[in-house]
């Protein structure tokens, strides 16, 4: 079991993750390269300067991070870092999992087997009834029910599992129930269940936060059940993310005459398992053992490791660092290229290439792909993390 | 193209098929063994006598067959034999297809691509609406809609396709609409569509006739769509038969809260394709070419041919026919055994074994299995054809 962070490193994690340009992937690459968040924070300004950013990168000040920790403590909440034993192991194994989560309520729920139940906000009365019943029965069968605290299906899922254990993932900060009408349910979950948020305290949820919320919902669960989802809905995104992580994707069918069921029916046509009840879900997942923290912890988050290139030759022709950097950019394009190949073609020292890639990443210009491959993002495609 | 039957042989087909103990399979074995129905009729009494039946087999009298043909003609109908060019080629390729069908209406519909639409008798208003719409649109897309003239989904399917072409398969005789309330629809189909029946004129449908009707419905169509079927319903049998024939099995999903949808949902879980509209069905089957009569005609009805054993050695030790027959029965049991193996072990002349198997078949004691294998039916399991 990995030991948790000490207070100083925890504060450094929070500062690093709240710094401009540092998403979950870049965070991990920085940690890999510098050994600790504190060391990465020290190196950040210089790395950013070299990356060709137009203006300096804003590093999260100590005071802001301390304010967030204090505010969280006042609410009765805490920060859960990926290096903590209580970080949910299944989520740790999911691509793009946040290295830090704010948590309010009972973190013990993160150690149990979880199912995500998601669906339409404008759900039918039957859809809500079915969801609440399914959540209640899943709870009795020992499952924790995860959802996104939206209106409709999400709310029904949480409500059905309030007594047995439910986890709500918020799109904004942990103190920002959204939409406002979910506040009473939010309070109940804070008392009897668990609230989770990736964003900082006070962050009002914006459109781009919802897919990230959905990714966490899918990542926490062994499987995702979609009830009453229209085509092109957020629930289908959650289902797709679950499928991409190798989790079970399930859907409750409905009449083709109801547009609210088309998305769920479409999922089934695309290969999702049709489920009608908690028993169906339980039976389907019975063979999957509860994940053990030791299996996952801090081993694999779908993040490509920047290789150490230990056995590779050093550069042969000396160049200025600026020339070498340009050479790397020239070798990169919109098609993913293996890092090994880059190293061979650019004839650079491995540590130098490693830092150059980190710089491009911090500038939001580099994308990592499976199999240790990288590509350059076109100017219009850059991620404003 | 196979030429149709002459009047004398057509009458012989009808007499043979209406004779006691002659089901569709035995009919074909007799035709294979004797070359014509007329010759098989001549041999029937002696074969039956040797088969060990307790009482003599009732052969259909000439007068009864002539009466049926005249009655059918009075209704405006006709007999379609498997040897006729108008016999539907897809049905000819289906296991257990009837060698003879009574037809009333437009036999031209049998030459077009067909879809079966079947489902619950106690269908919901939505289910009927959906079915009628789907049938109408399938009709516009060029499909003939086949169903079983039951209440509910079947009736809605016929109604939706009345203008474009629909085929209703009756469980009893072609003059026996069932249930009585379907009579107006039955008349409309007789005028604008096509009615088909395997049973003789005047035959009131009994429970055992419905699975046979379902087999014909499935056999006529490239695929079967199930709408609103409860678990353990006749529609699921039709779907199973369609699947066994290698036809496409499709189902329209519905809410798990409606018991009428459970069977259709169950089918999807078991691998049926989820369809929501005529367009879905059409798209799924677009790649399947319309069957050509030449591809199927009289080549394969899933009936095992009794092999000719031409290259096998004749018997070595002479025995009395009765002893030899007992020897065959001793070699047979409830587990299927290849006919070749039987021939090798019993050391009989091939023609003798062939006749012995026919006799057992006529006595309802023999069952054929795929791969030219046969088994003996236990006394309680005998088929009362």
B211-230 tens-digit pLDDT:
999 999 999 999 999 999 98
Å between B286 CA and nearest CA of chain A: 17
- CA-to-CA distance for B240 and B343, rounded, in angstroms? 34
- Mean pLDDT, range A69-78, rounded to an integer: 96
**Chain A residues with CB-CB distance to B254 below 8 A:** 253-255
The position carrying tokens 């604008």 is B192
- Sheet of A100-105: strands edge to edge? A78-81, A100-105, A194-197, A166-170, A144-147, A114-119, A223-227, A248-252, A273-274
Å between A354 CA and nearest CA of chain B: 49
Select the residue of A253, A255, A277 nearest B126 (Cβ to Cβ). Answer: A255
Select the residue of A262, A268, A277 nearest B268 (Cβ to Cβ). Answer: A268
Select the residue of A129, A252, A265 nearest B274 (Cβ to Cβ). Answer: A265
Q: What residues are paired with B102 via a beta bridge?
A: B79, B197
Dig out the tokens for A136 from the structure: 């209640």
Select the residue of A126, A262, A273 nearest B255 (Cβ to Cβ). Answer: A126
pLDDT at A203 over 80: yes
- Does the beta-carbon distance from A269 to B273 stay under 8 Å? yes
Which pTM value belongs to this model? 0.79
Q: Residue B145: which residues within 8 A CB-CB, separation 6 or more?
A: B114, B115, B116, B117, B135, B138, B139, B157, B158, B160, B161, B164, B165, B166, B167
ipTM score: 0.72
Residue A315 has what pLDDT? 45
Å between B281 CA and nearest CA of chain A: 12
Which of A255, A271, A284 to mutate against chain B (most B CBs within 10 Å)?
A255
- CA-to-CA distance for B81 and B98, rounded, in angstroms? 9
Å between A255 CA and nearest CA of chain B: 4
Residue B290 has what pLDDT? 52
- CA-to-CA distance for A384 and A208, rounded, in angstroms? 11
- CA-to-CA distance for A347 and B110, rounded, in angstroms? 73
Decide if A78 contacts A20 (C-beta within 8 A).
no
- Does the beta-carbon distance from B253 to A274 stay under 8 Å? yes
pLDDT at A307 over 80: no
**Chain A residues with CB-CB distance to B252 below 8 A:** 256
Residue B146 backbone phi and psi in degrees, to 5: -105, 140
Percent of chain A residues topping a pLDDT of 90 = 58
Least Cα distance to B79 among B109, B100, B64, B49 occurs for: B100
Q: Residue A230: which residues within 8 A CB-CB, separation 6 or more?
A: A120, A259, A260, A262, A263
Dig out the tokens for B270 from the structure: 């078991």
Chain A, chain B: beta-carbon pairs less than 8 Å apart: 53
Least Cα distance to B91 among B318, B300, B274 occurs for: B300
Å between A253 CA and nearest CA of chain B: 6
Q: What residues are paired with A225 via a beta bridge?
A: A117, A250
- Mean pLDDT, range A265-291, rounded to an integer: 89
- CA-to-CA distance for B285 and B271, rounded, in angstroms? 16
Q: Kindly indicate the confidence band of residue B261, based on its pLDDT and cuts at 50, 70 and 90.
A: very high
- CA-to-CA distance for A43 and A40, rounded, in angstroms? 5
Number of Cβ atoms within 10 Å of the Cβ of B292:
10
Dig out the tokens for A38 from the structure: 């504190």
Task: Map residue B376 onto helix, strand or coil.
Answer: strand
| Least confident among A151-160, B106-115, B287-296, B316-325 | B287-296
Å between B39 CA and nearest CA of chain A: 53
- CA-to-CA distance for B376 and B331, rounded, in angstroms? 10
**Chain B residues with CB-CB distance to A254 below 8 A:** 253-255
Q: Kindly indicate the confidence band of residue B379, based on its pLDDT and cuts at 50, 70 and 90.
A: low
- CA-to-CA distance for B252 and A47, rounded, in angstroms? 58
* Residue A76, CA distances (Å) to A152, A192, A204 in order: 28, 13, 20
| Least confident among A289-293, B16-20, B353-357, B361-365 | A289-293
Residue A331 has what pLDDT? 85
Task: Map residue A367 onto helix, strand or coil.
Answer: strand
Q: Identify the closest residue of chain A to B129 by CA–CA distance.
A: A257
Number of Cβ atoms within 10 Å of the Cβ of B225:
34
Q: What residues are paired with B114 via a beta bridge?
A: B144
Task: Map residue A211 onto helix, strand or coil.
Answer: helix
**Chain B residues with CB-CB distance to A253 below 8 A:** 253-256, 261, 265, 268, 274
pLDDT at B29 over 60: yes
**Chain B residues with CB-CB distance to A262 below 8 A:** 276
Percent of chain B residues topping a pLDDT of 90 = 58
Residue B188 has what pLDDT? 97
Q: Provide Rg for chain A, Cα atoms.
A: 22
Residues B300-313 pLDDT 10s: 444 445 554 443 44
pLDDT at A333 over 90: no
Residue B235 CA to its chain's centroid (Å)? 16
- CA-to-CA distance for B115 and B285, rounded, in angstroms? 10
Which of A117, A258, A265, A280 to mutate against chain B (most B CBs within 10 Å)?
A265
Exposure class string for B342-366: b at 16+ Cβ within 10 A, else e: bbeebbbbbebbbbbbbbbbbbbbb
Higher pLDDT, A331 or B197: B197
Residue B14 has what pLDDT? 97
- CA-to-CA distance for A255 and B123, rounded, in angstroms? 13
Where would I find the beta strands (DSSP E) of chain B? 78-81, 100-105, 114-119, 144-147, 166-170, 194-197, 223-227, 248-252, 273-274, 337-338, 366-369, 373-376
- Mean pLDDT, range B349-370, rounded to an integer: 84
**Chain B residues with CB-CB distance to A274 below 8 A:** 253, 265, 268-269, 274
Q: Residue B59: which residues within 8 A CB-CB, separation 6 or more?
A: B15, B19, B20, B41, B44, B45
Q: Which residues of B sit within 8 Å Cβ distance of A?
A: 126, 129-130, 252-257, 261-262, 265, 268-269, 273-274, 276-277
Which of B156, B227, B231, B255 to mutate against chain A (most A CBs within 10 Å)?
B255
Q: Identify the closest residue of chain A to B267 by CA–CA distance.
A: A274
Select the residue of B126, B252, B256 nearest A276 (Cβ to Cβ). Answer: B256
Å between B76 CA and nearest CA of chain A: 41
- CA-to-CA distance for A233 and A228, rounded, in angstroms? 10
Q: What residues are paired with B115 via a beta bridge?
A: B145, B223
């Amino acid at each position: 079991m990995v030991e948790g962070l000490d207070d100083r490193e925890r504060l450094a994690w929070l500062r690093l993750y709240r710094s401009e340009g540092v998403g979950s992937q870049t965070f991990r690459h920085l940690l890999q390269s510098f050994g600790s968040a504190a060391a990465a924070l020290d190196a950040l300004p210089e790395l950013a300067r070299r990356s060709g950013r137009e203006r300096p990168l804003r590093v999260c000040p100590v005071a802001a991070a301390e304010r967030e920790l204090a505010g969280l403590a006042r609410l009765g909440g805490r920060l859960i870092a990926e290096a903590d034993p209580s970080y949910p192991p299944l989520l740790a194994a999911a691509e793009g999992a946040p290295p830090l989560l704010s948590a309010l309520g009972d973190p013990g729920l993160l150690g149990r087997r979880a199912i995500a139940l998601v669906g339409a906000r404008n759900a039918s009365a039957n859809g809500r009834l079915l969801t609440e019943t399914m959540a209640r029965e899943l709870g009795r069968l020992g499952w924790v029910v995860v959802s996104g605290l939206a209106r409709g299906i999400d709310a029904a899922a949480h409500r059905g599992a309030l007594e047995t254990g439910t986890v709500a993932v918020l799109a904004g900060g942990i103190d920002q129930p959204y939409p406002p009408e979910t506040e009473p349910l939010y309070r109940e979950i804070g008392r009897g269940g668990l609230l989770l948020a990736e964003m900082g305290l006070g962050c009002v949820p914006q459109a781009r936060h919802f897919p990230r919320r959905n990714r966490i919902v899918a990542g926490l669960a062994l499987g995702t059940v979609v009830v009453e989802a229209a085509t092109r809905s957020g629930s289908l995104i959650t289902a797709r993310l679950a499928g991409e992580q190798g989790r079970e994707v399930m859907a409750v069918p409905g009449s083709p005459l109801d547009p609210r069921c088309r998305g769920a029916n479409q999922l089934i046509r695309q290969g999702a398992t049709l489920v009608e009840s908690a028993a169906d879900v339980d039976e389907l997942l019975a063979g999957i053992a509860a994940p053990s923290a030791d299996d996952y912890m801090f081993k694999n988050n779908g993040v490509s490791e920047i290789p150490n290139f230990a056995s590779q030759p050093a550069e042969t022709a000396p160049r200025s660092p600026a020339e070498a950097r340009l050479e790397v950019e020239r070798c990169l394009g919109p098609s993913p290229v293996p890092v090994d190949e880059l190293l061979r073609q650019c004839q650079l020292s491995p540590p130098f290439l490693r830092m150059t890639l980190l710089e491009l990443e911090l500038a939001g210009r580099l994308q990592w792909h499976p199999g240790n491959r990288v590509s350059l993002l076109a100017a219009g495609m850059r991620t404003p993390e």
